[in-house]
Homo-oligomer: A and B are copies of this chain.
Amino acid sequence: MLRIVLAQINTTVGDLEGNYQKIIDYILRGRQVSVDVIVFPEIAVTGYPPEDLLLKKYFVADNIKILKKIIVQTTNITAIVGFVDRNKKGELFNAAAVMDNKKLIGVYHKEALPNYGVFDEKRYFLAGENNPIFVLDHMKMGVSICEDIWTPHGPCEAQAKAGVQILINISASPYHFEKWKEREKILRQWVKKHKVFVCYSNLVGGQDELVFDGSSMILNPQGKIVARGLQFEEDLVIADIDVRPARGTKRLRGLQVLSIPKIVHQESRLPIRGKVVPHLQPIEEMFKALVLGTRDYVIKNGFKKVAVGLSGGIDSSLVAVIAKEAIGKENVVGITMPSQFSSSETQSDAKQLAKNLGIRCVEVPIKAIFDSYVQALKNDFAGLPFNITEENLQARIRGDILMAFSNKFGWLVLTTGNKSEIAVGYCTLYGDMSGGFAVIKDVPKTTIYAMAEFVNKKFGNVIPESVLKRAPTAELKENQKDQDTLPPYEVLDPILQAYVEEHRSLFDIAKKTKDMKTIQDVVKMVDRSEYKRRQAPPGVKITPRAFGKDWRLPITNKYKGY
């Protein structure tokens, strides 16, 4: 019997010392429960993804120093630790070190390097070519890294064919909505085909636009998940797995076999039954992703407090709730900035929300400032009607005020734009787009409503009912409604999903909804807004394709074929 633990930790990119401390801490915790093997996530030493830090002269050397410090701390335990390896030519590998009892047993180099979506691994790494099998007390184990196990005819297949009983995969698999379903499906395929144990150790935590959701798991050869970790939290996922010793190494010919001289089956220890944490419900899952992504961006970047502009609308209300969940009510400041177009209802809703959340609320009216701009521009704009210029100006005054608070008190400004708005450009650059982190930039408006309802159910109607019922409005001119400019969100969001997330063409989309004119209008708005998105702050990715590293459209682009 083998006691295995997946150390689902929250690393920080570049924080080699902090990651080291955390790894050592988890090794100690593993040893306390007499673990045989402890498995860390992908590139745990540097945090994932390190991006161009890998090009810095001493970065890789520093990470190898840390690895060596970890090796000597593995008394009586086998640890599998992700790090960046380097060959003599200086070429880099996304690697897993297998160490035991203060010795490095072997190193595996990732073979399948993802270079699509948010991934750029071929920019940095060479594909591995060695594929060792680790024999631990006559039990054979294969080690792979993330994308490897998503590749049907890659290194995991070679390991399985060589007769390993355990496939270990260390991952940094970025979250999107219900991605765990895809992961579990893939892992079950390995189990089904090869009758192996699968131990999948995933990263947890936020890194710029990415959230890693954890949910690490161990499957037995019968296809049952015998242990599964929390989503969006650090966890120690532990199980005793009953691996029968293999009968010789005949089928390993041609593969490097590395023996880990170890006696497991410590029958004296108390047996542990793996805990299988149930999955969160869909909306709660997304909500927690936003909370974790926001918390980690704020904390890891050294901020303590955040400011949120509260309009009395649903977007800013939801962002305030997320901020409170992420860093606590005492660290969130709401700022209302009424203009002549703000209704008393939205203003009182904003204040009520702040009260319900128990956050501080500051009011800074903007009418006098707006008037001073109009005055300053009156000669140059003489005879021209109030239009989008003056609408944007109000949004920009608000952006400036939020940034003034940020500069004066060191608060991070959270922006409140949703994905539907950012997709079609229904937002003001240097206005409501001003801020350090765009919490809901990947959440479509229709999902915002569902999430607000969830929030009210969970936290007791913190968002005033009238906020949910009011027709969406930017309140930048008299009687303005979003739907004066945009199709209804129930029409808009499915078009956006098809065009943005599913890469579908205009004609494909028209097959479903028929209304070609609306689709064309929407697609044009999306294409035309690329320049705005290029200057948008990062925010949490929760869909298969966000407006981040997985969206690389040129700004200068005359393609009209859609």
Contacts and interface: CB of A to CB of B under 8 A. Distances in A.
Interface in A521-562: 531, 534-538, 551-562
A559 B207 contact: no
A66 to B, nearest CB: 11
Q: Specify which of A57, A116, A536 lies most central, judged by the most chain B CB atoms within 10 Å of its CB.
A: A57
A340 interface: no
Interface in A185-230: 206-208
A555 B301 contact: yes
A405 interface: yes
A258 interface: no
Interface in A49-73: 49-53, 55-59, 62
Given A408-B381, A408-B389, A16 B561 contact: yes
Contacts of A507: 58
B59 A559 contact: yes
Given A49-B554, A52-B553, A557-B14, A430 B208 contact: no
A53 B116 contact: no
A404 interface: yes
A13 B434 CA distance: 29
Interface string A379-400: 0110010011100110011011
Interface string A280-318: 000000000000000011001100000000000000000
A171 to B, nearest CB: 19
A405 B388 CA distance: 11
A373 B389 contact: no
A555 B412 CA distance: 14
Contacts of A366: 376
Contact of A558 (B13, B377, B397): B13
B430 A400 contact: yes
A403 B408 contact: no
B297 A556 contact: yes
Contacts of A56: 503, 505, 559, 561-562
A407 interface: yes
A15 interface: yes
Nearest to A18: B558
Given A376-B401, A396-B400, A55 B430 contact: no
A441 to B, nearest CB: 13
A122 interface: yes
Nearest to A373: B369
Nearest to A53: B559
Given A53-B553, A368-B372, 4 more contacts: A15-B559, A301-B555, A373-B401, A400-B400
29 contacts: A14-B557, A14-B559, A15-B559, A52-B551, A53-B557, A53-B559, A55-B503, A57-B505, A115-B123, A206-B556, A208-B555, A296-B556, A300-B558, A362-B380, A365-B376, A368-B376, A369-B372, A369-B373, A380-B405, A381-B404, A384-B408, A387-B407, A387-B408, A389-B404, A392-B404, A399-B430, A430-B434, A531-B537, A534-B537
Interface of A: 12-16, 18, 49-53, 55-59, 62, 115-116, 120, 122-123, 206-208, 296-297, 300-301, 362, 364-366, 368-369, 371-373, 375-377, 380-381, 384, 387-389, 392-393, 396-397, 399-401, 403-405, 407-408, 429-430, 434, 436, 503-505, 507-508, 531, 534-538, 551-562
